[in-house]
Amino acid sequence: MITVSKLNKKFGDLHVLKDINCRVEPQEVVVVIGPSGSGKSTFLRCLNQLETATSGEVIIDGVSITNPKTNINKVRQEVGMVFQRFNLFPHKTALENVSMAPIKVRKMPKQEAEKLAMELLVRVGLEDKAAQYPDRLSGGQQQRVAIARALAMRPKIMLFDEATSALDPEMVGEVLEVIKSLAREGMTMVVVTHEMGFAREVGDRVLFMDEGMIVEEGPPKELFSSPQNQRTKAFLSKVL
């Protein structure tokens, strides 16, 4: 579903991603962990080219998105992204946030898009908030709307960048619950998270990133219980 080969990203002199290779199979949930500043967000953002790769190739569902000739907007329609800071559109209601992209990008009739949006709001448990503007919603509610908004494009892949890091602790659960339900339904996902319990429970595979490299990877049980690499051990001893 996703193939990353020899991916490099530099910000000026700063070499943030170093020769990343990785594959994500259909329906697989890959969890990315690692210290802050290790390049997790940058890696994720290269997967939909919010960051342009400096070199290397990213192939999404058979399409090379690092090829400048590729229509990136088409590919992004298939790749949903959820941000740490929600990034809901503040001038639109929850329902409008969710229905906007189907209307503007997929050219779906408004009524149909609103019906779809409503279904998705029901799914994330927010049907009663449809008419509210984001500033009237709690962080957890905003993030659930943001997930519904991404799902409205019917993506084949979902990317989560620390979706619960900006939330008050009591709201983390409700958002993780939605992500888990997606995993159960077989959504292909790449999830950057600091929630190790969640990584262990939901991840099919865990990637540990440090200093722009994938230092170690494996099934969560193995990686968490018997890490091989020194840096993985050091990191896990701090967070577990």
Q: Which residues contact residue 139 at a Cβ distance below 8 angstroms, ignoring those fewer than 6 apart?
A: 86, 166, 167, 168, 171
Q: Residue 218, Cβ neighbours under 10 Å: how many?
A: 16
The only residue of 2, 7, 16, 72 in contact with ligand ADP, by rule CB under 6 A: 16
Choosing among other proteins, ligand ADP, Mg ion, none, which partner's interface includes residue 85 (Cβ < 5 to 8 Å by kind)?
A: other proteins
- Residue type, position 102, single letter: P
Choosing among Mg ion, ligand ADP, other proteins, none, which partner's interface includes residue 83 (Cβ < 5 to 8 Å by kind)?
A: other proteins
Between 83 and 224, CB nearer to ligand ADP: 83
Cβ-in-10-Å burial (0-12, 13-18, 19+) of 64 comes to: middle
The only residue of 22, 101, 189, 190 in contact with other proteins, by rule CB under 8 A: 101
The only residue of 22, 24, 41, 149 in contact with Mg ion, by rule CB under 5 A: 41
First and final C-alpha spacing in the chain: 31
d(CA 150, CA 98): 8
Q: Are 119 and 98 in contact (CB under 8 A)?
A: no
d(CA 40, CA 233): 18
Between 3 and 49, CB nearer to other proteins: 49
Between 40 and 129, CB nearer to ligand ADP: 40
> In whole angstroms, what separates CA 75 from the centre of its chain?
15
Applying the rule CB under 8 A, the residues between 176 and 215 that interact with other proteins are: none
Nearest to 143 by CA among 164, 173, 169: 164
- Should residue 71 be labelled a site residue for ligand ADP when binding is judged by CB under 6 A? no
x/- contact string, 17-46, with ligand ADP (CB under 6 A)? -----------------x-xxxxxxx----
Beta strands in 34-187 (DSSP E): 55-60, 63-64, 79-82, 157-161
- Closest distance to Mg ion from the beta carbon of 40 (Å): 5
Between 13 and 135, CB nearer to ligand ADP: 13
- Should residue 11 be labelled a site residue for ligand ADP when binding is judged by CB under 6 A? yes
In the complex, the residues that contact ligand ADP under the rule CB under 6 A are 11, 14, 16, 34, 36-42
In the complex, the residues that contact other proteins under the rule CB under 8 A are 48, 50, 73-74, 76-77, 79-81, 83, 85, 87-91, 100-101, 104-105, 133-135, 146, 149-150, 153
In the complex, the residues that contact Mg ion under the rule CB under 5 A are 41
